[in-house]
Amino acid sequence: MPKESRAAMSKRWLSERKREYYHLMAKKEGYLSRAAFKLIQIEERFHLFKGARKVLDLGSAPGGWLQVASEEMGEEGLILGVDLQEISPLGLPGVETLVGDITSDDTLNEIREFFQGKVDVILSDMSPDVSGNWDLDQFRQIHLARVTLVIADELLQRDGWLVVKTFQGAEHDLYVQEVREMFEQVKIVKPKASRKHSSEIYLVAHRLKSPRRLPEGFRPEEEEEC
């Protein structure tokens, strides 16, 4: 059987995506990405936006999670989306965006200045640039998840919520244990809106422990060049 050409593969992928339920629903409901339904399903289960006033969304492009957070919180919410990519203006009340690298001190200082205090919810749907090397990609994903823990340690309210995406792999079980050392309640969730064969899952954590311990020897500036 002849090998499928790159153009044919691309055409098939686009055709399958167009038929996908959540992709079609996102277009119908006006969401910028199918990922919006992942957060909707997490919110329906955990009610993490109940009473929330400040939300930090990491890896927020193209803005689907910002849309959901704004819908849940209304005009009184203060929401900041941070991403390496610029996000087109959303025209949503209380929503601001920042182009920046969360491993950078400059970006962290801008986040601190924006909120002027603690936040109620931290969301992270971040993914690394995919290299095609699964072990490397999973390592990079867990690194981003650990950076998120460092940020949560500083900026999250004691009774706050953390939602962070991870990829299942060699480091995943260790990362789950690290989150459990920081939070009183930790649940592992795979929303229905996640693709069936995707290795992504989400950790939903509530209430920071006191005292608590960050991943041993980990600091954002320690990222190695890959």
User: What CA–CA distance (Å, rounded) separates 70 from 31?
Assistant: 12
The residue count of the chain comes to 226
Q: How wide is the angle at C-alpha 55 spanned by C-alphas 53 and 57, nearest 5°?
A: 165
Catalytic residue at 192? no
- Annotated catalytic residue: which of 38, 50, 54, 165? 165
Q: Which residues of 163-188 are buried (b: 16+ CB within 10 A; e: fewer)?
A: bbbbbebebbeebbebbeebbeebee
Structure tokens at 157: 């309210």
Burial class (CB in 10 A: 0-12, 13-18, 19+), 6: exposed
Strands 200-208 and 78-83 turn out to be unpaired
How far is CA 156 from its chain centroid?
15
H or E element, residue 95: strand 95-99
Residues forming the active site: 165
